[in-house]
Structure 1
Amino acid sequence: MSGSENAHSGLTRRGFLKATAAGTAASALIGGVSLGAFASELRSGQPENAGDSIYQGICRPNCGQCCAIDVHVRDGKVVKTAMTHIPDSPEVNRICLRGLSHPYRIYDPERIKYPLRRVGERGSGEWERISWDEAAEEIAQKWAEIQEKYGSQAVAQYAISGGYGVFTTNHPVYLRLNNLINGSKITGCVDMANAVGINRVVGWGEGVWSTNDARDVVNAKNLFIWADNWSEAQIQEWRFFCDAIESGVNTIVIDPVYTITASKANKWVSVRPGSDAALILSMIDVIISEGLTDVTFLQEHTVAPFLVKSTDGSFLRQSDLSGTSTAETDKGDELRTFDVHAANRNTGTSAEVESPILVWDEACGALVEVEKAVNPAIEGEFEFNGIPCKTAFTLLVEEVAQYSPEKAAEICDVPADTIRELARLCADGPVTHRMGWGSQSYVNGAHPAHALITIAAITGQIGYPGASCGAADWSASSGWAQSYAPKYGASSSPTLPVLALPEIIESGEYGGEPFALKAMLIHHGNPLCTSVDINRLKRTVFDQLEHIVVVDSVMTDTACYSDLVLPVAQWFEFEDITGGGQTNFYTGFNEKAIEPLHESKTDSDIARLIAEKMGLGEYFTETDAEILDDAMLSSETCQKLGLSYASLKESKLVPQRTGVKIAFEGAKFTTPSGRMEFYVEKPVAFSNYGQDIDVERERLPRFFPPGEAWPENEKYEKYPLTLMTSRTKYQVHGQWFSVRNLRELDPDPTFRINPADARARGVEDGAWAEVFNDRGHCVAKCIYSEAVRPGSVVYMKNWAAKYFKAGSWAEVLSLEFDPVTVNHCFMDALVDVRPWSQED
């Protein structure tokens, strides 16, 4: 309960006092408040938490967890964050170092105190303090001038998800403002290749990366972890991996790097970076050739028996034989209406009424509608009315036949016998496959996911306890604030992927029409740290913008390169609602614990202020409480739970499920056919900006080399090291970079390299060294590690540029991307390494 008394806390960490001392010397522009006023009051033996008020908070960065935490307030100041104890859910009673460090974030000496205007060149670090009124006036004036000159689309908003919540992920007030001015939107293009590869097979209805929830891994007989270091990248799921080990689950880790997770597994397989699809296709070949498929599951729950026309790659339907169109099909035919959401993703169209799909039924030796078949053939070639056809399964068999274990071994550097062993384990259920973010970080990134979910399809290892395949269980409530932002209409200006911006702006065209982008509002994102090839991004995009506004709490790399910086409130300085995460299955209410510090404002108040200056204030009369109430009413999850804003505010935490979630239970899929569509009839791009895609390539899982990080690439002779990323437990996508106590534990940006590779280049262990290519460079500390595969460099992701001796990781990464996934390829880059001898 808000304001409840508790006596179990205290300020005891050595680093807290260090941060206090640092805070007193902070700069005038972006300095923090001294903590000495209350930290110095602590004495040895003082009762812990005496007089503290405790508020319900939700730690909600883009780590995907949304852990419930207690926010301790004393004399109007946050002095501690601690785990919320939930008696009925002991498995979620955890908190990581980031969750414990919130007082350091709130009272960060680098926290922005008031609006700042650039007075020097962009990136020079020269600023002046201005008032909120001046800042809002400038934004309103600049936007009006730019839209008058270049068109409404010339003003855009960029956002990803700086924090999971109604205001911090869905951005309803910012989006309404954008709709009213008809501005463009820019998307972040991050970590979506897995989702594309998996969900085009199973449908998008259960979520973005849907699997059985993490507690279910103990029910598996064989647990495969693909390029996912749970011990650091998915830190809150690590305990479930440990539970699986203790329960006797056979654990297999496939990863180029010998991670902590790999060190605890029963088996570790080191695969060549970017070659996962070839490995998995070979495993499919073994499963099929050794008769390990689940024929009944293939017949009843996949497109295996669907007849694919050789003429155009589409499924054979009744209308193909009758000579009539779908609309002219006889009324006697059974028609199926497909799910709108699934149809939109898989076909790019609205829901359609299709003529029935036909299969060859071996029971009667005739073509029949798929739902009427008794024993549909899953293999074979046919011809009907002059139309040659093959079953979808036959096409899969032909595709994977190219990847015998011996052939695949040459590609992925995994022994042929190991490939056979892995394939047999995949058919020995229950089997769980969990994919991390490694294999999807290449230009070919959707295809390992497509291939892996195909293994689940042909073995029937999905939809029951212990049998699952995917990247994460996402329990977040759906439909937040669906009605608020578009209440007065939606923007007709385009939504642009950030990866395509250089091409769009350089060409001056979008969709065949002249296009200009001249102003950007950036909130809940930091693209000059978390994107790729930022030298080109600055040159082709940011330097062409006439006005850049960044909303943030500290001076990020992007804020440093802007024209206006607006200080935003921290999470515990306003109310918000979260819909749960990967391991915390609660809809949660985040209470306001303290007033916003300094002159910071909430996102909603910032948007309202800009709207008022633009003469749009009449459209922003709802309070934050009313917006949250609207969010609850528009959420399908909250409707099912009978939750309202008032009831959640009272309850604070409400469980979203009872028992362990089983994804696709009962083999219920949300594809147009209602089956697992490992053959995709109508592939589309995830983010469509007018690009062409290779439709034939996307129909089946396939292997093709990464865009750059491959020995056959012409750049390989000059830059022979593959650059791979690793996520750190001390930061989240650029957040927490300035938190002082975490910097004590993790003070410098580092990269790991095999000692043989380092010594060959004269680079010493622990020395600063330069990682470089034609795009840029990065100077970080070298760490010798035998765990790193020779020919590779592993860097820790998303460090702020100021911590490097020179450059940053975002300089050396490649902008090349797959036009289907439109996804950042954080590992698809080649580099070399050399000693750094320059002065600090």
Structure 2
Amino acid sequence: MEKQESMHSFSRRSFIKGAAALGAAGALAGCSAQGSNLAETGGPVPETKIFAGACRSQCANGCYVNVHVRDGQVVRTTAGKFDDGPEFNRICPKGLSLPARVYSSERLQYPMRRIGERGEGKFERISWDEAIKEITDKWKGYIEEYGPTSIAFFLGSGNTGTLGGPAPEGSIMARLLNVMGTSRVLPDRDIATPMSHTYMFGPGAHGHRAADTVNGDHFIIWAGDTAVSEKQRTHFFLEARDRGADLIVIDIAYRTMAGKADKFIPVHPATDGALALGIIHEVLEQGWEATEFLREFTEAPFLIKDDGKFLRMSDLGVAPTTTTDAQGKETTVDPWVVWDEDTQTAMPYTEATKPALGDVPDINGFHVRTEMDMIREAAEPWTLERASEVTGTSIEDIKYLAHLYTQEGNVMTDMKYGLNHYNNGMYTSKCINSLLLITGQMCFPGRGMYTGEGNFGEGNTQATISMPSASGEKPRGVGATLNWTDFCNIVQTGKKMGKDFPIKSFYAVCTNIVSNQTEQNETIKALKAIEFIVIQEMTMNDTSLYADILLPACHWFETSDLRVRYYGNPYLLWNEKAVEPLYESKPDADIYRLIADAMGYGDFFQFTDDEYLNVLLSTPWGKAHGVTIDKIREKNYLRCEVSGPVAHPNGEFYTPSKRASFYREDPKPDYMMGQELDIEKEKFTLFWEPAREADLDNPIREKYPFSVCCEHMRTRTHTQWYDVDYMKEFEKQPVCRINPEDAAELGIKEGDTIRLYNDRGSVTLLATINPGEQRKALHCPRSFLTREHIDGDLATTTFNDYNQACRNQSYFDCAVAIEKL
């Protein structure tokens, strides 16, 4: 076909008004004019059909949506209704505005090739055949010269469909990179808090389900604004409050959820771990610890030798035995030892009737101490006075929390990911986990963490990615797994851990890394250094501008898919195809297949969508309950509660000992990039250290006195919905919320233009005065595109370095200075 050249170019300052300014001209190449598909019609109103849909952004709500279609066009959405109760029948403004995303002026209409400088935003239209041939020709050349790991796939989370989305590990995209043997780049988002749970409780679901909220006497929401970011769950807390339960919010600012609580407890940014230590100190000081819980359900009685190793029966002359684990692997059995107070002897922990929590004598020449001894030692310095000084939380509030957790009945704690977004996030989370164990607030009705619905998970992902081809050939597997910071370094140096590691091509889908990864300037630097970039997207977001080839993906309502993984409700949801894909856009899964065929791997994709989904659904729970895609389609949803309402019932955890752990004798870092490692920090759960930049006492705060919380917006999920103009009536443009006293000192008034800056970058936005902010702490919505800012981008001010053992993006651990413009 004849090539049709069209270009777009814009500055960060000029592109603020969005799609309304583009109008019918369609100023972005390959983007539609909003409303061009909504022509008026005369005569009788056509019949409206309703299709089942799912809101598939990664906001942890995953709502069931009715998609109303009239005359082949989506006209509105409403909340879907489950027939087994109304508690999960929810829809938010984002779900209600999804038709505007379908008909967004930012929709990519056809494949395009870059013709300007990378990031400049100049493209020409090409055909699908041209696009796929150019991609696969280059990839074949790279594989031949540099090997398959020279191609890197980025797995984002902007589409949680199973077939089309990269987020579930069993998606067709995941299979493609396993078949090709390419590199896989991890986003490294939200790792620290879940990792703390895994280290202490073992792998698995650790939160109680909504059904158990009726048993809670007190609910603590720690470090999050649930009413904004997790609307599907919020009503459970409010209903509990209305029944007479106490609702307490611990946060760094007085925000929406705090306004709905019975009590708000402020804490300085990134000091929640110190607050937990102060509470634990008071609990131990008063003798309020849950002694029997600690004896029976945790490793608190386990004995540690002076060399840092557990005392085991082999140390007492009992030879280890062997057994076979659940995977059929032979393992060594060498039981942990405790001191039994009833018999005054050392014995395997499984045989003791009253394991001691302290004051254990030397055993067979070994000086030992219990994990509980270590807990007392770690908490000792955290007096009420010190904890209050570090956290800014009053002594009275620390005492209140200690009393609440131990003397006032059942406490449910909702640990939010605000804890997760600092460089010390894993240490903070482990301290709060320890608080729940020490006070016995886990494992029983009304006592535990509430983290959402434990449902189907991601399915039998290993089976889907490892299925042999039609001719019996096995996929070669992922060639390399790279964390994000490692990837950025490798792109610049061509080396990994001192060895050659060329990366020639980068493929990203369902993600906007330029806006959503930390330290934006480093992201752009990496993108500019890569030879060939393919972006598969629905809109012209910040990352799309850096593509060499742009592939237009269709909207969720324009294809069928299964939404599996979600935390907000316990259902598998079938997303029916409601309308035909607009323009030349294609379903994500179809694009993966086109690439696979052109690469010569079509034999690995000789299955129907239903066949693939049935393999994914073949988990042990799925098999036991006869779950198939046909069964899901009977109602377009299927409730799948793979666990009971209480996590860790009867005190059984998923660790090797079946107990919750406070200590790891041989911890391993989550990633290796040649970093220096102080392993002692990782052994014990009650270790805590200040954040890198958010800490008020860090010397960097003399130059950059303010910390910034880059918070979620109620009208967007990450940067999705940036293209919905009428949502901007609620959150029009980037702002910075600042304490009135700080503003007065700087001569800043409401609506002033200010610049936040540090040595990494800067952003210019409008000031809004908010007495709910703490002194020297700012809140800025983080979901705006670069071009929506007056200048710069909030993402340029954050840093890309990781905690020594945890590959976690630290969005909030950021210090800046303020300049009034």
What's the TM-score, normalizing by structure 2? 0.92
The one-letter code matched in structure 1 to 2:563 is T
- In structure 2, relative to structure 1, the CA distance for the partners of 1:650 and 1:726 (3 Å cut) is same
Match of 2:279, SS? helix
The corresponding residue for 2:597 is 612
Deviation at 1:659? 10
Give the number of equivalent residue pairs: 793
Q: Does 1:513 align with 2:499?
A: yes
Which residue of 623, 633, 640 maps to 2:624? 640
Q: 2:34–2:104: 8 Å Cα contact kept in structure 1?
A: no
- Larger deviation, residues 170-179 vs 602-611: 170-179
Alignment of 1:383-402 (within 5 A): 383-402=362-381
The corresponding residue for 1:251 is 247
The corresponding residue for 1:183 is 182
The corresponding residue for 1:656 is 640
Q: 1:23–1:34: 8 Å Cα contact kept in structure 2?
A: yes
The one-letter code matched in structure 2 to 1:440 is N
The corresponding residue for 2:698 is 713
The one-letter code matched in structure 1 to 2:600 is G
The one-letter code matched in structure 2 to 1:146 is Y
- In structure 2, relative to structure 1, the CA distance for the partners of 1:791 and 1:113 (3 Å cut) is same
Q: 2:143–2:150: 8 Å Cα contact kept in structure 1?
A: yes
Match of 2:767, SS? strand
- In structure 2, relative to structure 1, the CA distance for the partners of 1:84 and 1:808 (3 Å cut) is same
Q: Distance in 1 between matches of 2:767 and 2:211?
A: 37
Which residue of 647, 659, 662 maps to 1:678? 662
Match of 1:483, SS? helix
Q: Does 1:410 align with 2:409?
A: no
The corresponding residue for 1:275 is 271
- In structure 2, relative to structure 1, the CA distance for the partners of 1:252 and 1:459 (3 Å cut) is same
Q: Does 1:697 align with 2:676?
A: no
What's the TM-score, normalizing by structure 1? 0.90
Which residue of 686, 689, 709 maps to 1:724? 709
Q: Distance in 2 between matches of 1:417 and 1:776?
A: 40
Q: 1:762–1:834: 8 Å Cα contact kept in structure 2?
A: no
The corresponding residue for 1:82 is 78
Structure 1: give runs of 5+ residues left out of the alignment. 1-17, 342-349
The corresponding residue for 1:592 is 577
The corresponding residue for 2:31 is 31
Which residue of 226, 229, 241 maps to 1:230? 226
Which residue of 760, 768, 780 maps to 1:795? 780
The corresponding residue for 1:12 is none
The one-letter code matched in structure 1 to 2:602 is G
The corresponding residue for 2:203 is 204
Post-superposition CA distance 1:404-460 (Å, at most 9, x none):
111112211122232122111111321111111112211110122111121221222
The corresponding residue for 1:574 is 559
Q: 2:454–2:642: 8 Å Cα contact kept in structure 1?
A: no
The one-letter code matched in structure 2 to 1:620 is F
Q: 2:574–2:633: 8 Å Cα contact kept in structure 1?
A: yes
Which residue of 648, 653, 665 maps to 1:669? 653
Deviation at 1:511? 4.1
Q: 2:756–2:763: 8 Å Cα contact kept in structure 1?
A: yes
Q: 2:219–2:237: 8 Å Cα contact kept in structure 1?
A: no
Post-superposition CA distance 1:82-127 (Å, at most 9, x none):
1112242211111001111111011101100001111010111111
Q: Distance in 1 between matches of 2:528 and 2:123?
A: 18
The one-letter code matched in structure 2 to 1:51 is E
Q: Distance in 2 between matches of 1:596 and 1:100?
A: 20
The one-letter code matched in structure 2 to 1:438 is G
- Larger deviation, residues 597-606 vs 478-487: 478-487
Q: Distance in 1 between matches of 2:213 and 2:235?
A: 11
The one-letter code matched in structure 1 to 2:290 is D
The corresponding residue for 2:730 is 745
Deviation at 1:501? 2.4
Structure 2: give runs of 5+ residues left out of the alignment. 1-17, 468-473
The one-letter code matched in structure 2 to 1:618 is D
- In structure 2, relative to structure 1, the CA distance for the partners of 1:231 and 1:598 (3 Å cut) is same
Match of 2:813, SS? coil
Which residue of 82, 89, 92 maps to 1:93? 89
The corresponding residue for 1:6 is none
Deviation at 1:37? 6.1
Deviation at 1:663? 1.1
Post-superposition CA distance 1:726-748 (Å, at most 9, x none):
21110001111111221232221
Alignment of 1:141-540 (within 5 A): 141-167=137-163, 168=165, 169-170=167-168, 172-206=171-205, 210-311=206-307, 313-322=308-317, 329=320, 352-427=331-406, 428-469=408-449, 471-487=451-467, 488-539=474-525
Q: Distance in 2 between matches of 1:489 and 1:74?
A: 44
The corresponding residue for 1:815 is 800
Q: 1:215–1:660: 8 Å Cα contact kept in structure 2?
A: no
Deviation at 1:598? 0.8
Q: 1:20–1:36: 8 Å Cα contact kept in structure 2?
A: no
Q: Distance in 2 between matches of 1:724 and 1:88?
A: 39
Deviation at 1:215? 4.5
Match of 1:618, SS? helix
Q: Distance in 2 between matches of 1:608 and 1:689?
A: 34
When the two chains are superposed, the root-mean-square deviation of aligned CA atoms in Å is 2.3
The one-letter code matched in structure 2 to 1:223 is F
Deviation at 1:20? 9.1
- In structure 2, relative to structure 1, the CA distance for the partners of 1:260 and 1:37 (3 Å cut) is closer
Deviation at 1:239? 1.1
- Larger deviation, residues 541-550 vs 679-688: 679-688
Deviation at 1:554? 0.3
Q: Distance in 2 between matches of 1:21 and 1:407?
A: 55
Q: Does 1:775 align with 2:760?
A: yes
- In structure 2, relative to structure 1, the CA distance for the partners of 1:180 and 1:58 (3 Å cut) is same
Deviation at 1:688? 4.8
Q: 2:323–2:330: 8 Å Cα contact kept in structure 1?
A: no
Q: Distance in 1 between matches of 2:535 and 2:300?
A: 50
The one-letter code matched in structure 1 to 2:183 is S
Q: Does 1:133 align with 2:132?
A: no
Q: Distance in 2 between matches of 1:572 and 1:737?
A: 18
Q: Distance in 2 between matches of 1:658 and 1:141?
A: 45
Post-superposition CA distance 1:754-793 (Å, at most 9, x none):
1222232233212332111111111122111001111011
Deviation at 1:473? 3.7
- In structure 2, relative to structure 1, the CA distance for the partners of 1:42 and 1:641 (3 Å cut) is farther
Post-superposition CA distance 1:449-497 (Å, at most 9, x none):
1111212212221122211125444424342443222222243521011
Q: Distance in 2 between matches of 1:84 and 1:585?
A: 14
Deviation at 1:338? 6.1
Match of 1:387, SS? coil
Q: Distance in 2 between matches of 1:495 and 1:774?
A: 31
